[in-house]
């Protein structure tokens, strides 16, 4: 099968970006949305076709084969290290293609309605296309350097879209924060790439993850501070992934990133870009599993802690987009845990499969939640749940689809979230009981905060709205319905036959012993939320008062932002930059000026000797002769 | 006649043309036409270079011609180019071309301004084609002297002070350099025979080790002063702040590259043992430059100071990479020179254009410019993104080549230096986004700015030329990298041969 046409999937969004960007003033405004959306529908169709042909092909002995559909040399760096740009098709990247293009197409369609009448409508669609291009380039990368290139491009598209409302200071600050925090993480990624490529002599994923090759074995001999060089390299690479995927403690940019338009949050900060870190680890998974199990353990703990930490914060937030943002952190934590507990090959690779399964289902239901939240925000012109309530009647489609999404994320069977989360819990249970317990608890908290959100928006007390809220236009509700259907059916995709750690299908069993308790805790979470929030009551306040210390800390996101602020403002700005600037002006430059000034002063001091008075010259002459004469006498 | 001589001849004819006319408009048009011709000619040189190569000419230097200038000391006009000097020539003609359009509105002593500017440029062209140390030095001085006039007369702020400071510091550098060059000259023939200034001839002999050790620092620091080597960089912020737009562009864009180019072509190439013995000192200094410049830029409030400190950081990376002494890192260094030359010229052009509208360069007095002057603001963002190393723009290509190249030196010292230098990508992001955030985004601070006009046609010519170059290198770096790399194999062999 020839997959060369996949190049179109990659290039079409780029062409759209350049076209919309350069012609932004000449095009009729409405056309931008139509062009952008049409182009996304084309590539979504192409991606689905690719996935269909790829997964229906005869899988050989070695499972699904990785195919390099396209490859050019971009820049040779050394004899061995050459940056190629190409398209790699394997189960992982094909799955990602489908997820990205489908969600992106829905978000584009939705945006036509949501962004209508906004200034910078064309710019918005241009940036969305840039993002789609970069994200697709990232997932089809044939080598780690190509991934890094697109990784940075994804970062900048995220920056541009978070700061879309560029006249709003909070949006500017948020975009800057997102870029700099992820850039810092990317420093780790870069150094990791440098170490890994130096030790293995290649950037290519195929070689880095090959099992037979001498590559990994060789590299892991040298050690530094008790860990092998490979472990260090992979940990540093994970640092990059943790930055993009907003793992603790690099998570601080994601809640602020909600300053961007809501469809952007759905696409970038829920469904696609933030799972890039998961994708990165999954892409290098054989290397992690076989030569750096210590790194996987780190990933497991980081993921687990983040999922708990974020879930607790999500229970206290009032801005509905922030609740969803923390929920995203928590769910990505799940995916990381799954990777961390996974082994390589066959059934040992259950965690790997579960992680990507969850990535897949999460993309749909989280995009749905964000788009639903956008629909609500569009109707009531506020982000705060305190200003919402009772919307179930005025916004029926939004209400129903949102309910589906909430049930899905809470893990109620037979919705997709249940299946993927269940697989993660099974994998965790087999690997580490403590982690299992944490993830089980987080499942309950998840159900609680999601239904807290649901009840506060759609039930509870109806406040006095300025305009009576009404349902969103069809271009916005159609994507909601599509994603709701996807959230329901995505769980039935036989992932264990398609996307596995060694690309070979394996059998999974269903465990009631694990599914039972997880359903139970989800139901408890939902009921608690209903008890507290379905009707107006004083119970929530009473509870938050009785837990005042914890509640305040969680509400303030455990003060992590303040710690960062201290580091940047007080240490980097005041303690390093300011002294450097002062040192440069006063010490380094002062020395130069001192040399200059002392030359001037010196010449000023001696210029009187050339006064033009002949008497003085004679006097100098005579004393000179005298001194010399005395000197000669003395020396002799 | 050697086609390279046209690189000198075209500017000289342009200067003559400007001197003959009286009208302000004609002065501009002649300058633009002259520098446009120069740009086209430098592209033609690329074509010529490749057709000679394709015809099977494998000499290290092409288009070589020699004529005696001063027989007694064996000083010659010797010209020739290889891939490295060719790429520097293209850079110079691009920046000069953009600079002419950026100075379209100079109305004080216009004629004299353009004459000085173009003389400066011709000095740079002469420097890059020279293969004789003495003529090289001569052209170097031709490039530095007009700078004094350009800043002192057409500058702003404390211009006399800045012009004096810049010139004196560069002259001090030249003095060191002259010692170094004479040192090389007097050791150029250790077995007796004729002393020579000929770069290619000197490379063939081995200069005694103690002479190399003694003269290397003179030569390297002499060039390093121009390349903003810490702690000899302080002429740069003041000089740039006072210089008129096109002068900043040419100075940061091209003249600072003379430092890197000379440090490599003369100091390291002719004194390899000295370079090896002392590389560690200069690696420390350049690593400091990289980080120190970036941190310094965070705290600045004047746009030109920010860019000047940023140049210290970026040019530090050039010298840093050269000292890594391998093919990849050196390719990266040359790429970085070109990339930095283009984007810093773009920055200074934009700063000049913004200053021309708002009459201030203090970022906290401005804000929200994106709304009123979108074209200039978008270009500023592009320049900023190039500076912080966004893939698809030239900075990324250069930095990544440098980092991968430097990392090939596997001892701990080089590793630590490389990782410290890598950290500049984060600090750069901080100061670039800070400026973009304060200057361009957010609400409009001063309501008078609502009446500002966006870029005029000549400003667009100037900036678009540079943006296209930056993007072209960023998207398709293969050819440029190959052009630069071509001569490097032999040069690096030469550098490490006598270890």
- pLDDT tens readout for residues A99-124: 999 999 999 999 888 888 888 888 88
What pLDDT is recorded for position A153?
92
CA–CA distances in Å: residue A101 to residues A57, A89, A95, A114, A476: 22, 15, 10, 19, 17
Bridge partners of A83? A75
Distance in Å, alpha carbon of B408 to nearest chain A alpha carbon:
7
pLDDT range class, residue A218, cuts 50, 70, 90: low
Of the partner residues A152, A186, A588, the one whose CB lies closest to the CB of residue B231: A588
What pLDDT is recorded for position B314?
92
Give A-chain residues touching B241 at CB under 8 angstroms. Answer: none
Which residues 181-200 in chain A show a CB within 8 A of chain B? 183-184, 186-187, 190-191, 194-195, 197-198
- pLDDT tens readout for residues A533-557: 777 777 777 777 777 777 777 777 7
| pLDDT above 60 (res A589) | yes
pLDDT range class, residue A154, cuts 50, 70, 90: very high
Query: What ranges in A534-586 are assigned the alpha helix state H?
Result: 539-546, 548-555, 560-565, 578-582
Give B-chain residues touching A191 at CB under 8 angstroms. Answer: 419, 422
Of the partner residues A78, A156, A572, the one whose CB lies closest to the CB of residue B328: A78
Helix (H, G, I), strand (E, B) or coil at A575: helix
What is the DSSP code string of B104-126? TT--SSHHHHHHHHHHHHHHHHH
Residue ranges of chain B with pLDDT lower than 70? 498-499
Exposed/middle/buried for residue A414 (C-beta within 10 Å: 0-12, 13-18, 19+): exposed
Could you give the count of Cα atoms lying within 13 Å of A1 in the half-sphere of its Cβ? 19
Q: What is the mean pLDDT of residues A287-298?
A: 86
d(CA A523, CA A531): 12
Distance in Å, alpha carbon of A279 to nearest chain B alpha carbon:
20
Which residues 131-160 in chain A show a CB within 8 A of chain B? 145, 148-150, 152-153, 156
A598–chain B Cβ distance below 8 A for any pair? no
What pLDDT is recorded for position A134?
92
CA–CA distances in Å: residue A528 to residues A314, A515, B332: 15, 20, 61
The answer to which of A209-218, A582-591, B20-29, B273-282 has the lowest mean pLDDT is: A209-218
Give A-chain residues touching B477 at CB under 8 angstroms. Answer: 74-75
DSSP state of B436: I
Per-residue tokens: A61: 């002995």
| Per-residue burial over B388-403, b = 16 or more CB atoms within 10 Å of its CB, e = otherwise | bbbbbbbbbbbbbbbb
Helix (H, G, I), strand (E, B) or coil at A227: strand
Of the partner residues A152, A166, A588, the one whose CB lies closest to the CB of residue B441: A166
What pLDDT is recorded for position A214?
44
Q: Give chain B's length.
A: 499
**Virtual torsion, Cα A171, A173, A178, A179, nearest 10 deg:** 110
Q: What radius of gyration, in Å, describes the C-alpha atoms of chain A?
A: 31
A566–chain B Cβ distance below 8 A for any pair? no
Could you give the count of Cα atoms lying within 13 Å of A523 in the half-sphere of its Cβ? 7
| Contact (CB<8Å) B403/A577 | no
- pLDDT tens readout for residues A21-40: 888 778 788 888 888 899 99
| Contact (CB<8Å) B405/A589 | no
pLDDT range class, residue A135, cuts 50, 70, 90: very high
Of the partner residues A166, A184, A584, the one whose CB lies closest to the CB of residue B296: A584
Mutate to test the interface with B, among A202, A577, A603 (most CBs of B within 10 A): A577
- ipTM of the shown complex: 0.91
d(CA A61, CA B67): 73
Distance in Å, alpha carbon of B3 to nearest chain A alpha carbon:
31
Q: Closest-CA residue in chain A for B419?
A: A191
Helix (H, G, I), strand (E, B) or coil at B67: strand
d(CA A366, CA A324): 8
CA pseudo-torsion sign A377, A381, A387, A390: negative
A565–chain B Cβ distance below 8 A for any pair? no
Prediction pTM value = 0.91
| Contact (CB<8Å) A75/B397 | yes
Give A-chain residues touching B298 at CB under 8 angstroms. Answer: 572-573, 577, 581
A576–chain B Cβ distance below 8 A for any pair? yes
d(CA A367, CA B176): 65
Give A-chain residues touching B368 at CB under 8 angstroms. Answer: 167
Smallest CA-to-CA distance from B185 within B205, B155, B158, B160 is with: B205
Give the helix, strand, coil percentages of chain A, each rounded to 5: 75, 5, 20
The answer to which of A243-247, A424-428, B60-64, B263-267 has the lowest mean pLDDT is: B60-64
d(CA B284, CA B289): 9
d(CA A547, CA A529): 17
Angle (CA) B427 B430 B432, round 5°: 110
d(CA B259, CA B236): 13
Mutate to test the interface with B, among A166, A583, A585, A593 (most CBs of B within 10 A): A166
Beta-carbon contacts below 8 Å between A and B: 126
| Contact (CB<8Å) B390/A166 | no
Per-residue tokens: B463: 């900036």
Residue B469: in which H helix or E strand, if any? helix B457-475
d(CA B416, CA B412): 6
| Contact (CB<8Å) B296/A194 | no
d(CA A131, CA A21): 13
Q: What is the mean pLDDT of residues A422-437?
A: 88
Of the partner residues A152, A172, A589, the one whose CB lies closest to the CB of residue B442: A172
A588–chain B Cβ distance below 8 A for any pair? yes
Of the partner residues A163, A184, A596, the one whose CB lies closest to the CB of residue B441: A163
Per-residue tokens: A272: 């696609």
CB A331 within 8 A of CB A401: no
CB A213 within 8 A of CB A207: yes
A180–chain B Cβ distance below 8 A for any pair? yes
d(CA B497, CA A191): 30
What pLDDT is recorded for position A386?
80
- pLDDT tens readout for residues A347-362: 788 888 889 999 999 9
């Amino acid at each position: 099968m020839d997959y060369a046409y996949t190049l179109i999937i990659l290039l079409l969004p780029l062409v759209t970006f350049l076209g919309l960007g350069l012609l932004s003033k000449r095009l009729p405004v409405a056309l931008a949305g139509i062009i952008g959306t049409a182009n996304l529908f084309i590539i979504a169709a192409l991606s689905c076709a690719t996935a269909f042909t790829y997964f229906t092909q005869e899988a050989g002995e070695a499972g699904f084969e990785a195919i390099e559909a396209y490859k050019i040399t971009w820049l040779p760096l050394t004899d061995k290290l050459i940056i190629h740009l190409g398209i790699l098709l394997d189960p992982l990247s094909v799955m990602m293609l489908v997820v990205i293009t489908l969600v992106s197409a829905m978000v584009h369609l939705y945006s036509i309605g949501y962004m209508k009448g906004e200034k910078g409508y064309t710019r918005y669609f241009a940036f969305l296309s840039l993002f789609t291009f970069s994200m697709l380039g990232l997932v089809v990368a044939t080598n780690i350097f190509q991934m890094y290139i697109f990784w940075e491009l994804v970062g900048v598209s995220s920056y541009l879209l978070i700061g879309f409302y560029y006249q709003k200071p909070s949006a500017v600050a948020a975009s800057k924060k997102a870029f700099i925090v992820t850039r810092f993480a990317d420093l780790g990624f870069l150094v990791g790439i440098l170490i890994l490529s130096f030790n293995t002599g290649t950037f290519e994923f195929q070689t880095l993850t090959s099992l037979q090759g001498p590559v990994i074995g060789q590299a892991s001999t040298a050690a530094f501070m008790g860990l092998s060089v490979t472990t260090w390299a992979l940990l540093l690479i994970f640092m990059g992934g943790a930055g993009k995927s907003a793992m603790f403690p690099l998570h601080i940019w994601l809640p602020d990133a909600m300053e961007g338009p809501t469809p952007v949050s759905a696409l970038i900060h829920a469904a696609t870009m933030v799972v890039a870190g998961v994708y990165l680890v999954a892409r290098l998974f054989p290397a992690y599993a076989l030569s750096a199990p210590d790194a996987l353990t780190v990933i497991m703990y980081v993921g687990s802690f983040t999922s708990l930490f974020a879930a607790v914060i999500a229970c206290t937030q009032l801005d509905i987009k922030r609740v969803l943002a923390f929920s995203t952190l928590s769910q990505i934590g799940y995916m990381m845990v799954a990777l961390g507990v996974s082994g390589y090959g066959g059934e040992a690779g259950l965690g790997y499969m579960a992680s990507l399964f969850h990535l897949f289902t999460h993309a749909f239901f989280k995009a749905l939640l964000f788009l639903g939240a956008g629909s609500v925000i569009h109707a009531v012109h506020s982000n705060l749940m305190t200003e919402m309530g009772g919307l179930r009647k005025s916004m029926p489609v939004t209400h129903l689809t949102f309910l589906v999404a909430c049930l899905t994320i809470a893990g109620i069977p037979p919705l997709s979230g249940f299946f993927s989360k269940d697989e993660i819990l099974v994998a965790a249970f087999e690997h580490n009981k403590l982690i299992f317990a944490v993830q089980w608890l987080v499942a309950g908290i998840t159900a609680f905060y999601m239904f807290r959100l649901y009840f506060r928006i759609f039930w509870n007390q109806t406040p006095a709205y300025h305009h009576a809220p009404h349902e969103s236009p069809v271009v916005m509700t159609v994507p909601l319905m599509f994603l709701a259907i996807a959230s329901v059916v995505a769980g039935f995709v036989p992932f264990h036959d398609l996307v596995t750690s060694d690309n070979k299908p394996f059998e999974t069993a269903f465990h009631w012993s694990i599914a039972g308790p997880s359903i139970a805790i989800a139901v408890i979470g939902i009921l608690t939320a209903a008890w507290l929030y379905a009707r107006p009551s004083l119970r929530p306040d009473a509870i938050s008062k009785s837990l005042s210390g914890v509640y305040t800390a969680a509400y303030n996101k455990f003060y992590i932002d303040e710690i960062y602020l201290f580091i940047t403002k007080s240490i980097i700005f005041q303690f390093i930059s300011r002294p450097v600037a002062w040192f440069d002006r006063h010490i380094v430059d002062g020395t130069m000026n001192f040399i200059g000034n002392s030359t001037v002063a010196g010449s000023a001091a001696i210029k009187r000797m050339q006064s033009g008075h002949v008497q003085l010259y004679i006097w100098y002459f005579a004393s000179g002769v005298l001194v010399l004469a005395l000197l000669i006498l003395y020396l002799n | 006649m050697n086609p390279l001589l046209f690189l000198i001849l075209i500017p000289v004819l342009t200067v003559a043309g400007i001197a003959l006319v009286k009208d302000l408009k004609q002065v501009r048009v002649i300058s633009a036409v002259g520098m446009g011709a120069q740009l086209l000619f430098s592209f033609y040189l690329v074509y010529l270079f490749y057709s000679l190569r394709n015809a099977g000419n494998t000499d290290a230097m092409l288009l070589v011609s020699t004529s005696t200038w001063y027989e007694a000391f064996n000083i010659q006009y010797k010209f020739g180019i290889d891939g490295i000097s060719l790429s520097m020539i293209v850079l110079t003609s691009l920046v000069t071309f953009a600079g002419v359009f950026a100075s379209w509105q100079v109305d004080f002593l216009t004629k004299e301004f353009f004459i000085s500017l173009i003389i400066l440029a011709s000095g740079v062209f002469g420097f890059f084609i020279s293969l004789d140390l003495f003529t090289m030095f001569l052209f170097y001085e031709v490039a530095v002297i007009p700078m004094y006039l350009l800043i002192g007369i057409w500058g702003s702020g404390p211009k006399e002070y800045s012009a004096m400071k810049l010139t004196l510091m560069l002259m001090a550098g030249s003095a060191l350099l002259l010692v170094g060059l004479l040192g090389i000259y007097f050791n150029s023939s250790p077995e007796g025979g004729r002393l020579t200034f000929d770069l290619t001839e000197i490379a063939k002999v081995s200069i005694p080790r103690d002479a190399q050790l003694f003269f290397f620092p003179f030569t390297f620091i002499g060039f390093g002063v121009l390349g903003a080597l810490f702690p000899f960089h302080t002429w740069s912020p003041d000089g740039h702040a006072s210089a008129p737009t096109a002068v900043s562009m040419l100075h940061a864009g091209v003249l600072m590259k003379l430092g890197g180019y000379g440090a490599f072509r003369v100091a390291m190439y002719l004194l390899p043992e000295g370079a090896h013995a002392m590389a560690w000192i200069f690696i420390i200094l350049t690593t400091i430059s990289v980080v120190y410049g970036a941190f310094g830029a965070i705290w600045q409030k004047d746009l030109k100071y920010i860019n000047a400190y940023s140049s210290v950081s970026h040019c530090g990376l050039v010298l840093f990479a050269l000292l890594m002494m391998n093919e990849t890192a050196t390719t990266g260094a040359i790429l970085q020179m070109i990339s930095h030359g283009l984007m810093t010229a773009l920055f200074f052009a934009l700063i000049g254009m913004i200053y021309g509208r708002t009459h201030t360069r203090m970022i906290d007095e401005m804000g929200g410019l994106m709304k009123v002057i979108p074209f200039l603001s978008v270009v500023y963002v592009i320049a900023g993104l190039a500076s912080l190393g966004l893939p698809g723009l030239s900075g990324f290509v250069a930095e990544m080549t440098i980092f991968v190249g430097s990392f090939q030196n596997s001892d701990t010292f080089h590793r630590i230096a490389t990782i410290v230098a890598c950290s500049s990508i984060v600090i750069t992001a901080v100061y670039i986004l800070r400026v973009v955030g304060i200057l361009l985004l957010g609400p409009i601070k001063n309501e008078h700015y609502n009446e500002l006009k966006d870029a005029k046609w000549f400003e667009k010519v100037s900036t678009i030329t540079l943006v296209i170059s930056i993007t072209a290198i960023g998207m398709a770096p293969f050819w440029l990298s190959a052009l630069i790399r071509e001569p490097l194999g032999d040069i690096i062999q030469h550098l490490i041969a006598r270890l």
